[in-house]
Homo-oligomer: A and B are copies of this chain.
């Protein structure tokens, strides 16, 4: 008789970003070129200063670091945040193994088993994974393609609050929608969390990716929720250093931070070398990100324009991050995504993107939507969008026949 695994792991969702990987592997084995718009892996070079910092180390032993992160790195981080008007002290910061661990720690710290965290959907799908690990219930509040995935009216969030609700979690700028909260919208949430005595957790890893002159607002800018604001951050996107696995959890609630430290102690420490790289990044010139930002805005404009020009496709122009969710004239976007990997070829090339239904907590939403990560250079992106359009046309014809 088969060994029984835990129900929670059996029920756990497969990553919608990575579940189609076997189809992609199969195609790549056959030498098909795939344009990857499915995962938020930027193609921008990691600043060479970061790898140089690692290459210039000369220690003899790769030792455990402190559980809350290397002191030098924690001492340097407030300087980075100060550029964005976020005033922090080193003791407000605990370095984590990427933003992933910061989210898991935040969930465990605020909620017991079965308690609830409200998140607007579609949301970063890995929140599900961490909720499963922590056995916390995600309560989704739906946002819609029709409104450009604008934050929902506060009333709709209020309606979801129960005596088991412990926090509201936002991703701002949003993966997967590209929505950016206005200052007023953040303020409304701050007010709600103050009134309702909830933690406000903000995943702000795309802070720098805000277009058209919009200004990002951090939850750390509101002194009135100093005891309940928890920021989650990561260097993965801003420095194109996804493989470094360095993030942090930030709060001025020091009782919370002392308790989070216990979680940190259990896993001993985040990787040492990459903290040295991350520290080097803090000293990059102020203008470092300007070029990257201009490049991503250009890419967004390409993808948006091409989507708008595709008959039957609906989307609004996203304001931030490097994702866009598009509503397609198909019944099942996953089927279309698999079709592109298995059957569609143009000059032996195809394109990969993520079906968006996995980004929803509510059942049966987003079935006709896809998430595109615009992480390729302009030329590749244009070609990828051409493949998308051709593929969609062919898919629709094939379905009819």
List the interface of chain A (C-beta within 8 A of B).
Answer: 1-3, 5-10, 12-15, 17-18, 39, 41-46, 50-51, 54-55, 57, 60-65, 67, 97-98, 100-101, 104, 108-113, 115, 126, 128-130, 132-135, 166, 197, 199, 227-228, 240-245, 253, 255-256, 259-260, 262-263, 265-274, 277
Contacts and interface: CB of A to CB of B under 8 A. Distances in A.
A240 B61 contact: yes
B8 A112 contact: yes
A101 to B, nearest CB: 7
B61 A44 contact: yes
A268 B197 contact: no
A60 B50 CA distance: 11
A268 B126 contact: yes
A46 B67 contact: no
Contact of A262 (B13, B100, B256): B13
9 contacts: A1-B197, A3-B199, A3-B256, A9-B259, A10-B259, A12-B263, A97-B267, A243-B271, A245-B271
Given A8-B108, A111-B6, A129-B266, A243 B272 contact: yes
Among A64, A242, A266, max chain B CB count under 10 A is at: A266
Copies in the complex: 2
Contacts of A12: 259, 262-263, 266
| A-B CB proximity, top 7 nearest | A129-B266, A243-B272, A15-B265, A100-B267, A64-B242, A62-B243, A46-B62
Given A100-B266, A262-B9, A262-B14, A241 B62 contact: yes
Given A108-B9, A227-B3, A271 B244 contact: yes
A157 to B, nearest CB: 19
Contacts of A273: 54, 243-244, 273-274
Contacts of A10: 259
Contacts of A50: 62
Given A15-B265, A245-B269, A227 B5 contact: no
A108 B126 contact: no
A63 B17 CA distance: 15
A129 B242 CA distance: 27
Contact of A110 (B2, B5, B113): B5
A63 B239 CA distance: 11
B46 A112 contact: no
A105 to B, nearest CB: 9
A271 B271 contact: yes
B245 A5 contact: no
Nearest to A275: B243
Contacts of A67: 15, 18
A372 to B, nearest CB: 17
Given A1-B197, A6-B111, A129-B266, 9 more contacts: A3-B197, A6-B112, A15-B262, A43-B61, A45-B61, A62-B242, A97-B267, A129-B263, A245-B272
A249 to B, nearest CB: 12
Nearest to A16: B265
A266 B130 contact: yes
A38 to B, nearest CB: 12
Contact of A8 (B3, B62, B113): B113
A246 to B, nearest CB: 9
Nearest to A268: B100
Contacts of A197: 1, 3
Contacts of A270: 245
Nearest to A111: B6
